[in-house]
Amino acid sequence: MFFVRIMMNRKIYVLVIVMLLSLLNWFFLSLNEGISEGEFSEKVKISLREVGNQLLLVNKDSTSLINPIIKIGKLKYELSFQSTLHINPDSLVAVIQKTFERSQLPKHYRVEVIQCEDNEVGYSYEIINTIDNSIVPCKGRMLPYSCYTIEVGFITAHKNSLRNVFLILGLLTICLLTHYLFLRRERENKEEIGQEINEQYFTIGSFQFYPEQNKLVQEIIEINLSKKECELLSIFASRPNEIIKREELTKKVWEDNGVIVGRSLDTYISKLRKKLKPDNTIKLINVHGVGYKLELRT
């Protein structure tokens, strides 16, 4: 059982280590998210250029140029056009969503259509993962022909926060689990030490005698002993091959407990002989007129 318990604990420790390594691997992969900041910026610029192309085509304009995409903030970009155009909010939302999904860009972003003449926001909306959870007002109302710039800002802080929460919870869980396992292992060690102390025994021939448990064990066979049998055998086991006087045995087992006996000693000696009989190297000998001797032959 002790060996099985060691193997089980070892499996648990290996599982904890695997979980920890997996969590760390996930964390470092999520930090990178597959692309660097520079690569992300270039990806956004290509996607916004495609958005501009689609908006011009909706205006039946296949010749006007799209101005260079400008990064105006950490996660904010500007799309502008060489010529005027009208903007249909329905087309704008659909074109941006489809292009961003194809480019696998973040699904949380805010779009603002800025009027060139007064730099005011002519139209804006926010996407949060899906259209159903988003704020998309004034659909179906066409913005007239004019000069517009489109600003797109990506919002990823909530993802990072959520990722950090999961990371902290994961690390905390592993720490608590590891702490619990070490405490349990320490408790088991103490129990095993205590068990070893409690399971001290005498070897008598092929028997193991456990005085604290009142039993004899021979291979897989257990033989229960009465309290008096156990007390007598404890005296003999502590002084093998030595003659022990009747008076000493009687005093230690009976008279010290306030009990006066007649032939009780001989009765219990007879019971012990029967229980020790399977091992012929053990003899509980009566030394006439003196006492008894536990004789062990090698």
Mean pLDDT value of segment 260-265: 71
Question: What is the C-alpha separation between 111 and 89, in angstroms, rounded?
Answer: 11
Mean pLDDT value of segment 94-119: 92
pLDDT digits (tens, 9 = 90+) for 16-26: 666 666 666 66
CA-to-CA dists, residue 30 to 34, 35, 157, 176, 184, angstroms: 8, 10, 14, 24, 34
**SS3 for 116?**
coil
Specify the pLDDT at position 66: 94
> Of 28, 102, 94, 40, whose CA–CA distance to 71 is shortest?
40
Specify the pLDDT at position 134: 62
Question: What is this structure's pTM?
Answer: 0.45
Chain mean pLDDT for the chain: 80
Mean pLDDT value of segment 262-289: 88
CA-to-CA dists, residue 150 to 3, 20, 70, 119, 186, angstroms: 70, 45, 11, 11, 65
Residue 254 has pLDDT above 70, yes or no: yes
Mean pLDDT value of segment 237-265: 81
Confidence tier at 140 by pLDDT (50, 70, 90): low
Parallel, antiparallel or unpaired: strands 108-115 and 207-210 = unpaired
pLDDT digits (tens, 9 = 90+) for 23-69: 666 655 555 445 577 888 999 999 999 999 999 999 999 899 999 99
| Residues 174, 19 contacting (CB under 8 angstroms) | yes
| Residues 291, 245 contacting (CB under 8 angstroms) | yes
φ/ψ region of 31 (left if φ > 0, alpha if ψ in -120 to 50, else beta) reads alpha
Residue 284 has pLDDT above 50, yes or no: yes
Confidence tier at 255 by pLDDT (50, 70, 90): confident
For the chain, percent of residues with pLDDT exceeding 90: 37
Specify the pLDDT at position 152: 96
Specify the pLDDT at position 3: 41
